[in-house]
């Protein structure tokens, strides 16, 4: 009585892999976005930082480097998002590339 | 001998029409690659013909452009031509009949005639080629050329009728002149037709048959001639880049921007406005709405340059084909996935869905909660 369905072997094990790989694949992009606030104020968000980096420490470094305030926002879908005051997009991208993150994985959004 | 003088003038006048039959005959490979064909080739290898090819192409294009204005009446003619084409099988047969007696006559008059023929009619051939090219290029919008042809044909007809007595015996199979007129117009089409498959739509280069090394110029002109012949749209579209009207951004009040010509731009890009708007909002990190007159109202203050940048990125990602860089693409949605199919190279690829990403909370929380 060997029912194939009861086997421990999962036929979709490797089929699911591409999907699983796809998820992190998309996540591997670091998105830098900008949002307008009232007046000339803006907000920069950094989303999709790889897990191996400690976002808390990076936030600290950002704040010191760019001389701005910022917070770490926990989002259900997007995970931890670094949020900085002001338009720091260019600065963030240069900072990240200088610290060994490939430029191809950084996506700069906004105007 | 008394035949010859009679024959020659008629030949000259008729040459415009008949000569093509000659030149085309070897191409048609109608079991007649005899003496006249090589002689023709030799005489025309002077290079005039080759040079004429591209010139005519360009002239054609100009004429085409000029003729576009007259396209309305040109269309009617195109229809006529089409009708003629439908009947063209019969005509071809008739043409053949006509040819045969002529050749016979020539042969009867002596072997020397083909040579004189060729030499005298070389320009005639090139002229004819001109017309052929014109006709071949764009059948529909060719008004001027067609007119020229008609006038030309009429002249031919008149001259023919004058010479009719001399050639009566030959023309007997054709019958009356009314018939002839039809045929004169149709005859060109027939040739046109038969010539297209024969060579690479310009099988007229005299050096084609020869064994010598082709010069670069010859090959180049041939290449361009056939290229433009097979797709005439290339000539008109080569210099033009993909351009889009700049977005017109106005400020509405203090905090809103109006993107007035978004529908035009979407039309130009062949994209759904919804998709473009979605992308704009995702990139700009704002929201907005479409007002009554089709303009997009964006929350936030944006300048034209900024919107332009975003649009540029949109075009790179969603409009231009990644394979051939052509903006001629279609975006279709299948199973929640967008596919971009290129119209010019046929490639098809999936594109990322527009994702908004993280949206930080801006403004008062209380207002957000209530609204």
Per-residue pLDDT tens digits for B70-117:
444 444 444 444 554 444 444 444 444 444 444 443 444 444 444 444
CA distances to B25, B109, B266 from B191, rounded to whole Å, are 10, 26, 45
Angle at B181 between CA B178 and CA B184, to 5 degrees: 150
Residue contact A110–B359, C-beta within 8 A:
no
Q: Considering only the beta carbons, identify the residue of A38, A83, A111 that sits closest to B309.
A: A111
Q: What is the pLDDT of residue A3?
A: 64
Q: Which residue has the higher pLDDT, B70 or B268?
A: B268
Q: How far is A62 from chain B (nearest CA, A)?
A: 18
Classify residue B285 by burial, with Cβ atoms within 10 Å: 0-12, 13-18, 19+.
Answer: buried
Q: How many CB pairs under 8 A join A and B?
A: 51
Per-residue pLDDT tens digits for B299-338: 988 999 999 999 999 998 899 888 888 888 888 888 888 9
Question: Mean pLDDT, to the nearest integer, of B180-191?
Answer: 41
Residue contact A37–B301, C-beta within 8 A:
no
The SS3 call for residue B249 is strand
Q: Which residues of B touch A109 (CB under 8 A)?
A: 282-283, 285, 357
Q: Which residues of B touch A75 (CB under 8 A)?
A: 358
Nearest to B109 by CA among B229, B250, B7, B242: B7
CA distances to B124, B126, B150 from B131, rounded to whole Å, are 11, 9, 11
Q: How far is A99 from chain B (nearest CA, A)?
A: 24
- What band does B257 get if pLDDT is binned at 50, 70 and 90? very high
Residues in chain A: 111
**Domains of chain A in sequence order:** 30-108 (3.30.780.10)
Q: Which residue has the higher pLDDT, B134 or B233?
A: B233
Residue contact A38–B363, C-beta within 8 A:
yes
Please give the mean pLDDT across all residues of chain B: 62
């Amino acid at each position: 009585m060997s029912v194939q369905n009861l086997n421990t072997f999962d036929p979709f094990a490797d089929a699911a892999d591409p999907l699983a790989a796809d998820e992190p694949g998309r996540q591997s992009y670091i998105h830098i976005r900008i949002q307008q606030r009232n007046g000339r104020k803006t907000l920069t968000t950094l989303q999709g930082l790889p897990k191996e980096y400690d976002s808390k420490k990076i936030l600290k470094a950002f704040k010191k480097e760019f001389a701005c305030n910022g917070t770490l926002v926990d989002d259900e879908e997007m995970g931890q998002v670094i949020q900085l005051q002001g338009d720091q997009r260019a600065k963030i991208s240069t900072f990240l590339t200088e610290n060994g993150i490939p430029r191809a994985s950084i996506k700069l959004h906004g105007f | 001998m008394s035949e010859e003088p009679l024959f020659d003038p008629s030949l000259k006048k008729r040459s415009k029409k008949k000569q093509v039959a000659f030149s085309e005959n070897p191409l048609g490979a109608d079991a007649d690659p005899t003496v006249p064909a090589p002689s023709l080739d030799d005489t025309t290898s002077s290079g005039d013909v080759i040079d004429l090819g591209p010139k005519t192409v360009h002239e054609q294009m100009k004429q085409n452009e000029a003729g576009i204005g007259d396209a309305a009446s040109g269309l009617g003619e195109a229809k006529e031509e089409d009708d003629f084409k439908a009947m063209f099988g019969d005509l071809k047969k008739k043409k053949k009949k006509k040819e045969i007696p002529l050749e016979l006559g020539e042969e009867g008059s002596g072997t020397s005639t083909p040579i004189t023929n060729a030499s005298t009619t070389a320009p005639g051939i090139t002229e004819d080629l001109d017309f052929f090219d014109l006709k071949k290029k764009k059948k529909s919008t060719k008004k001027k050329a067609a007119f020229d042809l008609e006038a030309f044909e009429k002249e031919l007809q008149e001259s023919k009728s004058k010479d009719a007595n001399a050639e009566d015996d030959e023309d007997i199979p054709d019958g009356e002149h009314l018939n002839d007129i039809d045929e004169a117009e149709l005859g060109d089409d027939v040739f046109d037709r038969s010539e297209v498959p024969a060579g690479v739509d310009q099988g007229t280069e005299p050096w084609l048959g020869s064994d010598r090394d082709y010069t670069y110029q010859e090959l180049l002109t041939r290449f361009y001639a056939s290229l433009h012949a097979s797709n005439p749209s290339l000539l008109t579209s080569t210099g033009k880049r993909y351009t889009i009207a700049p977005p017109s951004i106005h400020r509405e009040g203090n905090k809103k921007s109006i993107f007035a010509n978004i529908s035009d731009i979407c039309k130009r890009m062949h994209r759904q406005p919804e998709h473009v708007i979605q992308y704009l909002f995702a990139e700009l990190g704002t929201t907005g709405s479409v007002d009554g007159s089709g303009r997009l109202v964006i929350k936030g203050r944006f300048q034209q340059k900024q919107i332009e940048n975003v649009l540029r990125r949109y075009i790179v990602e969603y409009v231009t084909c990644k394979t051939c860089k052509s903006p001629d693409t279609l975006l279709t949605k299948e199973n929640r996935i967008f596919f971009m199919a290129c119209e010019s190279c046929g490639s098809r690829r999936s594109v990322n869905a527009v994702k908004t990403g993280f949206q930080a909370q801006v403004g008062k929380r209380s207002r957000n909660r209530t609204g």
